[in-house]
Amino acid sequence: MKLAQHPCCEACLQAGEVTAAEVVDHRIPISERGRKERLALEAFPPLDQLASLCASHHNQKTRAEQLGQTDWMRAGCDVFGRPNDRDHPWNKQGAIKTKG
């Protein structure tokens, strides 16, 4: 149902790309208790607590969670080498100086 409502990868859209979503991911990971006891509230949350992602972004998110990283979408650079983190000094207005 989530992929029918949001067929594009939400992470790709934020980066200005359009890619088909292949995976529905829990925005908040299922807890250890939830996995052991199969808690329906955690395993089947409302659709707004799920994200449509491409396989690449789903794998990045899962790995970041395993490493204890919280803001996985801000790590790394785009295809032009610009930092994804909007707060990175490179992305601040006036950070690029040109010879004049």
pLDDT of residue 97: 55
In a domain, 81, yes or no: no
Does some domain include residue 31? Answer: yes
Does 28 map to a domain?
A: yes
For residue 64, being part of any structural domain is answered with: yes
Q: How many domains does the chain have?
A: 1
- Give one DSSP letter per residue of 14-71, joined into a string: HTT---B--EEEESSPPPHHHHHHT-HHHHS--GGGEEEE-HHHHHHHHHHHHTT-S-
Regions of the chain where pLDDT drops below 70: 31-42, 71-76, 79, 85-86, 93-100
Q: Which domain holds residue 21?
A: 2-70
